[in-house]
Amino acid sequence: MDALGSDIGSQLIAKHALAETAVTAGGQGDAAEIVGTVIDLTALPSRPRSCKFLVPCEATLTTAKTLVVAGKVDVSHNNSTWVNLVASATLLTLTAALPGPGVAAVNAKNLQANVPGTANPIRYVRLSVTPDLSHTTTDTAKIGGGVAVFGGQDFVPQADPVI
């Protein structure tokens, strides 16, 4: 890090948060909750004060159809009893562009969820999302592998060794 602290990468911790999942309208993964990876905050090199989940989403949608992704952030003290830190809400809506009647359009965007107060005495955190395609057939989506980015530590974490 330079003297002005402009090396943001040295001040953040990123962890895998959600497995990539394929979704088919009216079928596999549609309107089904995807439970994210459990992250143990005590296993991080320093205690973060904040967190942001980032999940790339992509959908091939028929004209006038949508992908809506709802999400929630849960916390636990024991990794078995979970409570909402951030209640379920719509985090992302993708709507088909209008390329022409019956033509599918590909849309992509990052879903983001902010987590307040990871400095409080919670130990485990996870993101869960529920993708919902409005079409009953044809449309598909990919909920990408998500990451949790932690920041606001009391001290700068040591960088992971380069392998």
User: Quick check: helix, strand or coil at residue 48?
Assistant: coil
- Can you give the pTM of this predicted structure? 0.83
14-70 pLDDT, tens digit per residue, is: 999 999 999 999 999 999 999 999 999 989 888 888 888 989 988 888 888 899 999
Q: What is the arithmetic mean of pLDDT over 135-154?
A: 87
Distances (CA, A) of 73 to 40, 46, 111, 112, 116: 14, 21, 13, 11, 10
User: Quick check: helix, strand or coil at residue 160?
Assistant: coil
